[in-house]
Amino acid sequence: MKTKILIGVIVLAITLVTIDIYFTNHIFSSKDKAKNIEYTLAIVKPDAVQSKKTGKIIDRIENENFEIIKIKKLRLTPKQAESFYSVHKNKPFFKNLVNYMTSGSIVVMVLQKENAIEEWRKLMGSTNPEEAEENSLRNLFGTDIEKNAVHGSDSPQTSKKEIYFFFPSFIK
């Protein structure tokens, strides 16, 4: 009896994984590419999560017609933060960036929209909240150049790499 239950659970798990892989692999269809539908990674950073701005940021994302394809809340380890931001490892702010990104929970999302990368970067605003465009997320929720509320991919190549970092089954 226990063996039959175990086999049933294994079959169900394999079925669910197969379904997830099928839908994930078909998200990047040629129909989407023809419309220039893109995917980008968005992160609500620790300062915005700690100050309870996540809901307002997500509301704004949806009001700007982005579709949230995947979402999860987590806390980065120092090793994960160093790996994710490895492109900045030789810059003077790297250690502070790693410390900041591991200081609390973050919310990571895969966003979908036509021209998603460019549109998300516009919605985020300039890196420095003091210089960010009016009503951009960084203007509204960022406190300084380091604690600027949100992160976003800057190119299609970076987007794929960053999405894979947090959602490895999303992109093959």
Catalytic annotation, pick one of 136, 149, 151, 159 = 151
What is the per-residue pLDDT for 66? 98
Query: 116-133 pLDDT, tens per residue?
Result: 999 999 999 999 999 999
Strand-strand pairing, 67-74 and 106-114: antiparallel
* Residues 139 and 104 sit within 8 Å (Cβ to Cβ): no
What is the per-residue pLDDT for 29? 46
Query: 19-75 pLDDT, tens per residue?
Result: 344 444 444 444 455 588 999 999 999 999 999 999 999 999 999 999 999 999 999
Classify 25 as helix, strand or coil. Answer: helix
* Residues 88 and 94 sit within 8 Å (Cβ to Cβ): yes
> How far is residue 83's CA from residue 148's CA, in Å, rounded to a whole number?
20
> How far is residue 112's CA from residue 146's CA, in Å, rounded to a whole number?
26
Which amino acid makes up residue 16? L
Mean pLDDT computed over 101-107: 98
What is the per-residue pLDDT for 35? 80
The continuous run of DSSP H or E covering 110 comes out as strand 106-114
Could you confirm whether 151 is annotated as catalytic? yes
And the tokens for 59? Answer: 């509301």
* Residues 164 and 170 sit within 8 Å (Cβ to Cβ): yes
Instruction: Give residues with Cβ within 8 angstroms of 66, minimum separation 6.
Output: 111, 112, 113, 116, 119, 120
Cα atoms found within 13 Å of the Cα of residue 35, Cβ hemisphere only: 11
The continuous run of DSSP H or E covering 68 comes out as strand 67-74
Task: Give just the sign of the alpha carbon dihedral 82, 84, 89, 91.
Answer: negative
> How far is residue 171's CA from residue 164's CA, in Å, rounded to a whole number?
6
> How far is residue 69's CA from residue 40's CA, in Å, rounded to a whole number?
10
